[in-house]
Structure 1
Amino acid sequence: MFSTKLRPAIQRIQQIVPTRWIGSSASEATTVQPAFLFSPENFRRPQLPEGLKVQNLIPEMANDTTLAGLGRLVSNPEDYTVAHKTFEITQWPQPGWRQLDPGTGDEAGTTEGDFEVQWKGDFFYGKNLAIATNNNEYLDGLGAVPEHASSDKVADASHIHLWMSDYHPDGGQLFWPRQPIPFAVCLGPASCGDDITPQDMRAFHVPAGKGIYIHPGTWHNGIYVAPRYTVEAPARFLTRQGRVHARISVSWASEFQTLLRLQLP
């Protein structure tokens, strides 16, 4: 344990430099680089370095067996609503020792709207129109490693390289394609919490005519489609999610010097 004399100094340092400590004592502790800040600017135009490791994920076909613990395959988006008590909204944690009053802390319900995705050369962008924030436009992935990616070309990617993922602690999320097209997702278990690693992530192909519902806390990001589906306009998905829209993210590129690579359906 840290010496009680050191504890105030350590707390002041952690407030200034938000690093994570690993080790059982101050002398043994090593530090991890500060987490990537997912500001609107950084999310749209992250500075991704050259030479990142690439971890290949072999896609599985999404069904209720393969998705167990992560989410569900969706045949009708109206099967997952708060009214039907099938859409999960997580009760807000109690800040002190007093209990939440019954029936409170999970009353915000859901918000919904279109989630647009589009390829621009090797860059795959998403825009979430369901949430009222300016932090709703993202670079979701790349068709090539950063040093070889170009926007001055026809989009022709057969794979996508993912540099980040996130989860929502306040509720689930549903994605339903407005047109029946296949898409891919990349998911990690909520049980990993904030200690998620690239090795915990799995790739899934969702067949045309189906959608996906993701449990609260499941690591994910957006949905990924092949370039042929965004030639004339962005591909649009209905997204339904908790109205609070808390989001906690990991940068695979910054924290693990890694990209997750998966084949597009």
Structure 2
Amino acid sequence: MALTEFVLSTGSNIAVNILSNRLDTFLSDRLPRGQRLALWRASLLASPNQYFRISIAYLYRIYIDGEYLLIKGRRIDQYQPVGGVRKVYPSAKILSELGVLDDDCLKIDDISRHDLRVRVPARKLLRFLTWYESREDREVDQQREFIEELIRPGFLSADLFVPIATQYRYTVPTFHFSAHFQCQELLYHEVFDVKLNSEQEKAMRQLKDTPSDQYVWVDEESILMLGHDKRLKRKPFQIGEHARLLISKDYKLFNH
């Protein structure tokens, strides 16, 4: 082997090892081992023109008397956790610097514009995630989705619930091949407990006692069975799979 080839080969191996170690450090407490290995492999073997689809969302865990509050989805006919995709500020330059592209799987409208639902060059995934964790130039609080999904429709009072207090619970990343979108995909779900004072809890209980087709209160079994009712032997409604993340960070999505 020529010296230049040896140097290039050795340098490439060192770069791969460094990237592997950095990805391992970054994701070791976030991704299950199997997914972590799949992400390493996909990142390191990706072509320069390959992209991963990334979606970063935060979910509210609203839990009263053994039941969770789920809201009717705007895009999909299902009940799902209150919450949604985080926003990036229009002034952010990092996305263009990394060559990040808009999502090409879902239509971008006034509601979804500036969502952190994007396509990231596979070889720049670590830099993208490092930027996200830095909290720079992107949405960092948990107010907007609560207002959009519970206050604005009139389910709860702005005077009583804005601002809403939340407490971080855990982050659940899921790396998989999306059969629906036919691409490698990293879903990043951050789960927050909603912290209610006595007046807010009273209002939330009133909401719980007010029937609506726009939201449901369901127990753990209903979520785990994605809406199927064993007593009725049918599924009266569909529950989004990511609702399972409200119960535990150990539930794996797309693991049927």
Identify whether the pair has TM-score above 0.5, normalized to the shorter chain. no
Asked which structure has the greater CA Rg, the reply is 2
TM-score when normalising by structure 2: 0.23
Higher helix share: 2
Higher strand share: 1
TM-score when normalising by structure 1: 0.23
